[in-house]
């Protein structure tokens, strides 16, 4: 593998995936059909995964596809199908023009403020640190090693707590999703 | 790329907010929230190029929590749908005071 | 309690005078005992007291035929209050004890002789230590307070004894004596206090007791109204007193008599400050002593029992104003304009009240207006700086006016008994229903004639001596005095004083006329009471007539206490010398340091004039008033013209009603009630705050749509707001 860094290649793809991501997000927000919206969201996630890879978070990129796009969005689609929401009669849910304008204005305001707040200038090029991380690929453990190191050493407690959280969520989802049966009538 | 990443993240987040404000379908609303979470993940990952692996660890946590939240939230929506036969947000107003 | 000796060790300090604090305390104990008896007995069955909500007996004030149906009044003479025996002992008993103690202290004071140049101040306890002002409860025993104490306890005892007989059948017997004792307590505090605030305590206290006693039979509306009227008019005057006290404290830093006396030296003679203080003090006096413009409560006060009228509204309470001015002699002598004002108001009141008295039919009303008139004389006396003369007239007036009131009480008692026996509801106080009572009540008639001659000013009775002294003092100060040199409303002082003298003579003339008229209509001529009642008319019991005799003697010889030098020789001016340590300096200040000196010829001329006026007045009344021409009150024709105006008191009450009462009620109703109370406080604050809360609640409730969308909006807007706060920092 060629470890040299080609800025143009990098930038082009960055912008490509970025624009596709934005476009997909816009489309996602404006679809009437929930299925269509879900699929556009999946697209956004794929773009983001690509960006993660480019930002030297390979593991994150992988699990973005596996977990987010592959599990969470699938659950969403399951529920959409389950509730049979594709009928046109239920699809008229986008607010009227006034609401859209207001929401757009608010969004722009939010954006402007975030832009104003992040006044710090970040370097446009990869820092030496980033370049070193890129070279991590050839190290033993590969690119996963730094993350694993941080996750299982420094943030072990958070990791364990997350597992408990998942357990709780499973239990909660099962309880909530249960159909009320004869056993509950007592 | 860092600045552009942050900007992209902000834009995606904003789109997610607009979606939350605009959409009245509960499931789509939920998905907009997921979009917001993804945008935040992008921010964390972008900054982790500067500040180390902690950012990525946080992303893992976010994803985990998002998964849990999605499961429970959808279970709630299903429960509501069973009672009210609708996921239209304006109809779910039992908290109306 | 402890006594603080004056630094030099007052000669009275180790005499019986150190028990002087008992003198007011004894009537207070009487009040407590009688009050307890009146409450206790109300719990046991017996004739009900109006204060317990039952019926009442006794004479009514002022109204001719407003007599309630009692229901079971037959044989009410036998229904005495169960505790009456105790009360008859305690009530007059404490007064007698107080009088005895006062006599003892008096003799101690006489024994101290020259040592009594300064008053004996005994401090009992510290009352209000507030910052720069420390008020103590302290009694001041000096010659002036001793005179007042003797009058109060002496005449008080006589009136208490009279009341034992007069009120014997009243179901409120203990309550009456309780109030009467309380009154004596407060009056003694008034005259014995060593500072203005303590005097004010007594001042207010006697006002309270006056209200309680005027409205003694309060189950009748008119009596309660009269009590209220007296109290409220007094309060107007009290405002004046308070302002004067504020001014005194603000400028002199002290409120004790001795302190004021010392500090008065720094006040500018005739300056605005001292004039203002004196005028405000006088305002208080007009309220308490029934001068123009605050005199209208006194005739109404006749609604109370007659002993009350005698004690409070003749001898003691109404003289409090005169006492106060005598006490403040140092201040008044520094303000000639104020003095002239006092004298002018006094003489105008004297004349005005006398004109009304000429045409009254109720015997007590005649005496009431006579009291107002004589009080005017007293104010003339103290107003022109002749403080001794004013106090002297106060003393003699107490004698003969108490006698007149108690005598009329005997008359009313007899009339009342007669009417009750025949179940007649005519007015027992109207002179048109009386007549020829001399035949039935000779002792009372004689004694009242003595008092009438005294008040008319026939020598050598007491009234003549005191009245003449006042008029002579006025005349003497028309030259060579601070008053003559001052101007009052642009008029030179001497002219004012001549005018006062002339009006004083006019008032004296009218006094003689209306008093003789009263005597003629009541005691002489044919009897108009009625055939059936005549057998029941009789002299009052000795418990009532006895005090009258004592007062008659005092009215006759009381004048010898202060004879003018012309007649007295070695016995002259005893009172003048007695009071000299207290008011001598102030008196001399008015007359520019020299004792006023009238030539013998002038003095004889003045005396002759006064006597002539008195005789002319009596003769006028004797010839012009025809008792035989009168008819009983029920059949009497209504008056017309000037007579009607006089009978209706110059419509002063109606004028006050139009000018003061109705506008105040109007303002109260429209502005304060409808405007402020209903509109602003109720509407704006109470209801308004309720509406505001409802409104805010409505706004808040609109936020709780229960819709997730709304909540999301609010969330985002909140985030934007917080970020903008950071952005624009």
Sign of CA dihedral C384, C389, C394, C400: negative
CB contact at 8 A, C290 and C320? no
Does a structural domain hold residue C120? yes
Range of the domain at C183: 1-55+78-131+138-194
For residues C368 and C459, state if they share a domain.
Answer: yes
Residue among C699, C709, C718 with most chain B CBs within 10 A, to mutate: C709
Quick one: pLDDT at residue C327? 93
Quick one: pLDDT at residue C57? 39
Q: Do C717 and A106 touch (CB under 8 A)?
A: yes
Residue among A103, A116, A118, A119 with most chain C CBs within 10 A, to mutate: A116
Quick one: pLDDT at residue C3? 45
**Domain stop point among C599, C633, C667:** C633
Interface of B with A in 37-66 (CB under 8 A): 38, 41-42, 45-46, 48-50, 52-54, 56-57, 59-61, 63-66
Quick one: pLDDT at residue C603? 85
What's the longest Cα–Cα distance across chain C? 115
Q: How many CB pairs under 8 A join A and B?
A: 228
For residues C93 and C182, state if they share a domain.
Answer: yes
Q: Do B78 and A82 touch (CB under 8 A)?
A: yes
Cβ neighbours of residue C128 under 8 Å, at least 6 residues apart? C134, C135, C197
The phi, psi pair for C416, rounded to 5°, reads -65, -45
Quick one: pLDDT at residue A93? 52
Query: What is the average pLDDT across C642-659?
Result: 82
Quick one: pLDDT at residue B44? 95
CB contact at 8 A, C228 and C215? yes
> Residue C659: CA atoms inside 13 Å, Cβ hemisphere, count?
7
For residues C675 and C565, state if they share a domain.
Answer: no
Residue C10's Cβ-count burial label (10 Å; 0-12, 13-18, 19+) is buried
Of all residues in chain A, the one with the smallest CA distance to C713 is A103
Sign of CA dihedral A146, A148, A151, A156: negative
Q: Does C727 touch chain A (CB under 8 A)?
A: yes
Q: What is the pLDDT of residues C93-120, one digit of tens each?
A: 999 999 999 999 999 888 887 777 888 8
Taking an 8 Å Cβ-Cβ cutoff, which residues of chain A contact chain C? Answer: 106, 109-110, 113-114, 116-117
Return the partners of chain A (3 or more C-beta pairs < 8 Å).
B, C
Q: Does C571 touch chain A (CB under 8 A)?
A: no
For residues C568 and C445, state if they share a domain.
Answer: yes
Instruction: Enumerate the domain spans of chain A.
Output: 1-94
Query: What is the average pLDDT across B36-59?
Result: 92
In which band, very low, low, confident or very high, does the pLDDT at B40 lie, cut at 50, 70 and 90? very high
For residues C467 and C496, state if they share a domain.
Answer: yes
**Domain stop point among C290, C316, C331:** C331
Q: What is the pLDDT of residues C540-589, one digit of tens each?
A: 888 888 999 999 999 888 888 888 877 766 677 888 888 888 888 888 88
Evaluate if residue B79 carries a pLDDT over 50.
yes
Q: Do C716 and B21 touch (CB under 8 A)?
A: yes
In which band, very low, low, confident or very high, does the pLDDT at A89 lie, cut at 50, 70 and 90? low
CB contact at 8 A, C352 and C325? no
In which band, very low, low, confident or very high, does the pLDDT at C126 lie, cut at 50, 70 and 90? confident
Which residue has tokens 């593998």? A1
Q: Do A115 and B61 touch (CB under 8 A)?
A: no
**Domain stop point among C273, C302, C331:** C331
Query: What is the average pLDDT across C121-131?
Result: 86
What is the number of domains present in chain C?
4
Q: Which residues of C touch B36 (CB under 8 A)?
A: none
Higher pLDDT, A5 or C498: C498
Q: How far apart are the first and last CA of chain B?
A: 49
Of A113-117, B49-53, C217-221, C255-259, where does mean pLDDT reach its minimum?
A: A113-117
Both structure tokens of C415:
């009339």
In which band, very low, low, confident or very high, does the pLDDT at C136 lie, cut at 50, 70 and 90? confident
Q: Which member of C716, C717, C726 has the closest CB to residue A117?
A: C726
For residues C312 and C360, state if they share a domain.
Answer: no
| Domains of chain B, earliest start first | 2-89 (1.10.287.3510)
Closest Cα of chain A to B97: distance in Å? 23
Query: What is the average pLDDT across C215-243?
Result: 91
Q: In the CATH hierarchy, which top-level class contains the domain A1-94?
A: mainly alpha
Evaluate if residue A127 carries a pLDDT over 60.
no
Both structure tokens of C326:
């005598």
Q: Do C727 and A106 touch (CB under 8 A)?
A: no
Closest Cα of chain C to A90: distance in Å? 17
Interface of C with B in 673-712 (CB under 8 A): 701, 704-709, 712
Quick one: pLDDT at residue C265? 84
Closest Cα of chain B to A86: distance in Å? 12
Quick one: pLDDT at residue A128? 61
What percentage of residues in chain A have a pLDDT greater than 90? 38
Most confidently modeled of A55-64, A137-146, B38-47? B38-47
Q: What is the pLDDT of residues C655-700, one digit of tens each?
A: 888 888 888 888 888 877 777 777 788 888 888 899 999 999 998 8
Q: Do C719 and A110 touch (CB under 8 A)?
A: yes
Of all residues in chain A, the one with the smallest CA distance to B64 is A162
Quick one: pLDDT at residue C124? 87
Evaluate if residue C165 carries a pLDDT over 80.
yes
Q: Do C708 and B17 touch (CB under 8 A)?
A: no
Q: Which residues of B touch A174 (CB under 8 A)?
A: 75
Q: What is the pLDDT of residues C417-437, one digit of tens each?
A: 888 888 877 788 888 888 888
Q: Which residues of C touch B13 (CB under 8 A)?
A: none
User: What does C447-507 look like in DSSP terms, one character per residue?
Assistant: HHHHHHHHHHT-TTSHHHHHHHHHHHHHHHTTSSSHHHHSEETTEEHHHHHHHHHHHHHHH
Q: Which member of C701, C708, C716 has the closest CB to residue B17?
A: C716
For residues C621 and C722, state if they share a domain.
Answer: no
For residues C616 and C711, state if they share a domain.
Answer: no
For residues C292 and C397, state if they share a domain.
Answer: no
Q: What is the pLDDT of residues C63-88, one digit of tens each?
A: 322 233 333 333 344 467 777 788 88
Q: What is the pLDDT of residues C591-625, one digit of tens each?
A: 888 887 778 888 888 889 999 999 999 998 888 87
For residues C114 and C94, state if they share a domain.
Answer: yes
Quick one: pLDDT at residue C418? 86
Query: What is the average pLDDT across C480-503?
Result: 87
Both structure tokens of A153:
């050493």
Provide ipTM, 2 decimals.
0.91
Mean pLDDT over the full length of chain C: 85
Evaluate if residue C209 carries a pLDDT over 50.
yes
Q: Which candidate, A116, A100, B20, B53, places its Cα nearest to that of C709?
A: B20
Most confidently modeled of A170-184, C260-274, C505-519, C667-681? C505-519
Q: Do C720 and A113 touch (CB under 8 A)?
A: yes
For residues C308 and C323, state if they share a domain.
Answer: yes
For residues C626 and C697, state if they share a domain.
Answer: no
């Amino acid at each position: 593998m060629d470890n040299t860094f080609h800025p143009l290649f990098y930038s082009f793809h960055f912008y490509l995936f970025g624009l596709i991501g934005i476009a997909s997000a816009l489309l996602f927000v404006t679809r009437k059909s929930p299925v269509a919206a879900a699929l556009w969201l999946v697209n956004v996630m794929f773009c983001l995964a690509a960006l993660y890879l480019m930002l030297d978070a390979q593991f994150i990129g992988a699990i973005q596809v596996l977990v987010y796009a592959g599990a969470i969005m699938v659950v969403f689609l399951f529920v959409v199908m389950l509730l049979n929401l594709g009928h046109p009669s239920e699809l008229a849910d986008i607010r009227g023009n006034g609401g859209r304008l207001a929401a757009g204005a608010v969004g722009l305001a939010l954006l402007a403020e975030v832009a104003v707040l992040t006044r710090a200038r970040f370097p446009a090029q990869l820092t030496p640190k980033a370049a070193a991380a890129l070279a991590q690929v050839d190290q033993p453990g590969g690119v996963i090693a730094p993350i694993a190191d941080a996750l299982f050493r420094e943030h072990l407690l958070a990791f364990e707590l997350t597992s408990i959280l998942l357990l709780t969520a499973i239990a909660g989802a099962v309880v909530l999703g249960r159909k009320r049966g004869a056993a509950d009538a007592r | 790329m860092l600045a552009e990443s942050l900007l992209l993240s902000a834009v995606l987040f904003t789109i997610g907010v607009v979606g939350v404000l605009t959409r009245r379908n509960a499931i789509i609303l939920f998905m907009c929230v997921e979009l917001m979470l993804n945008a935040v993940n992008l921010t964390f990952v972008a900054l982790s190029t500067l500040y180390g692996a902690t950012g990525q660890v946080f992303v893992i946590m976010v994803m985990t929590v998002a998964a849990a939240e999605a499961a429970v939230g959808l279970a709630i929506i299903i429960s509501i749908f069973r009672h009210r036969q609708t996921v239209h947000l304006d109809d779910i107003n039992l908290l109306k005071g | 309690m402890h006594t603080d000796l004056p630094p030099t060790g007052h000669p009275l300090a180790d005499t019986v005078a150190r028990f002087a604090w008992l003198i007011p305390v004894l009537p207070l104990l009487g009040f407590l005992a009688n009050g307890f008896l009146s409450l206790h007995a109300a719990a046991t069955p017996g004739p009900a007291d109006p204060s317990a909500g039952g019926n009442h007996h006794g004479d009514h004030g002022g109204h001719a035929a407003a007599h309630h149906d009692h229901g079971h009044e037959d044989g009410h003479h036998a229904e005495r209050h169960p505790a009456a025996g105790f009360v008859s002992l305690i009530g007059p008993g404490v007064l007698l004890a107080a009088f005895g103690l006062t006599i003892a202290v008096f003799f101690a004071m006489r024994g101290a002789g020259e040592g009594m140049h300064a008053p004996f101040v005994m401090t009992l306890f510290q009352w209000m230590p507030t910052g720069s002002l420390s008020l103590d409860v302290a009694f001041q025993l000096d010659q002036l307070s001793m005179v007042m104490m003797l009058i109060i306890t002496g005449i008080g005892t006589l009136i208490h004894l009279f009341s034992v007989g007069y009120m014997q059948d009243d179901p409120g017997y203990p309550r009456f004596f309780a109030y009467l004792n309380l009154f004596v307590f407060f009056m003694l505090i008034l005259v014995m206090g060593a500072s203005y605030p303590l005097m004010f305590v007594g001042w207010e206290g006697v006002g309270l007791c006056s209200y309680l006693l005027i409205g003694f039979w309060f189950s009748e509306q008119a009596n309660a109204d009269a009590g209220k009227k007296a109290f409220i008019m007094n309060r107007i005057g009290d405002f004046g007193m308070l302002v004067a006290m504020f001014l005194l404290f603000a400028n002199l830093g002290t409120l004790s008599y001795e302190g004021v006396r010392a500090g008065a030296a720094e006040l500018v003679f005739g300056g605005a400050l001292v004039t203002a203080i004196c005028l405000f003090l006088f305002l208080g006096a007009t309220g308490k002593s029934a001068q123009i413009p605050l005199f209208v409560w006194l005739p109404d006060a006749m609604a109370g029992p007659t002993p009350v009228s005698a004690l409070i509204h003749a001898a003691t309470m109404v003289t409090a104003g005169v006492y106060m001015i005598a006490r403040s002699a140092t201040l008044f002598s520094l303000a000639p304009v104020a003095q002239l004002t006092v004298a002018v108001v006094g003489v105008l009141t004297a004349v005005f009240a006398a004109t009304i008295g000429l045409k009254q039919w109720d015997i007590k009303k005649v005496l009431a207006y006579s009291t107002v008139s004589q009080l005017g004389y007293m104010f003339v006396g103290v107003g022109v700086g002749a403080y001794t003369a004013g106090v002297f007239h106060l003393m003699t007036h107490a004698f003969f006016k108490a006698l007149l009131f108690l005598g009329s009480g005997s008359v009313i008692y007899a009339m009342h008994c007669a009417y009750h026996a025949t179940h007649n509801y005519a007015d027992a106080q109207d002179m048109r229903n009386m007549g020829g009572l001399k035949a039935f009540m000779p002792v009372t008639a004689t004694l009242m004639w003595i008092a009438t001659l005294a008040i008319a000013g026939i020598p050598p009775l007491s009234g003549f001596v005191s009245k003449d002294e006042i008029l002579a003092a006025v005349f003497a100060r028309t030259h060579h005095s601070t008053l003559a040199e001052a101007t009052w409303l642009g008029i030179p002082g001497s002219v004012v004083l001549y005018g006062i003298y002339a009006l004083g003579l006019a008032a004296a003339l009218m006094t003689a006329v209306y008093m003789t008229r009263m005597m003629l209509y009541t005691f002489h001529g044919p009897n108009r009471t009625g055939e059936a009642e005549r057998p029941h008319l009789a002299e009052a019991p000795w418990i009532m007539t006895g005090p009258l005799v004592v007062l008659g003697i005092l009215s006759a010889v009381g004048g010898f206490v202060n004879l003018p030098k012309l007649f007295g020789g070695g016995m002259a001016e005893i009172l003048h010398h007695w009071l000299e340590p207290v008011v001598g300096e102030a008196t001399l200040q008015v007359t520019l340091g020299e004792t006023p000196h009238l030539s013998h010829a002038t003095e004889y001329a003045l005396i002759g004039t006064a006597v002539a006026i008195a005789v002319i007045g009596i003769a006028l009344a004797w010839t012009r008033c025809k008792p035989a021409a009168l008819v009983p009150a029920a059949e009497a024709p209504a008056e017309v013209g000037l007579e009607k105006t006089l009978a209706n008191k110059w419509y002063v009450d109606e004028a006050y009603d139009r000018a003061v009462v109705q506008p105040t009620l109007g303002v109260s109703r429209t502005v304060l009630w409808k405007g402020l109370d209903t509109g602003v406080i109720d509407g704006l604050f109470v209801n308004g705050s309720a509406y505001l809360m409802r409104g805010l609640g409505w706004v808040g409730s609109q936020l709780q749509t229960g819709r997730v969308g709304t909540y999301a909006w609010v969330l985002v807007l909140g985030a934007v707001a917080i970020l903008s706060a950071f952005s624009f920092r």
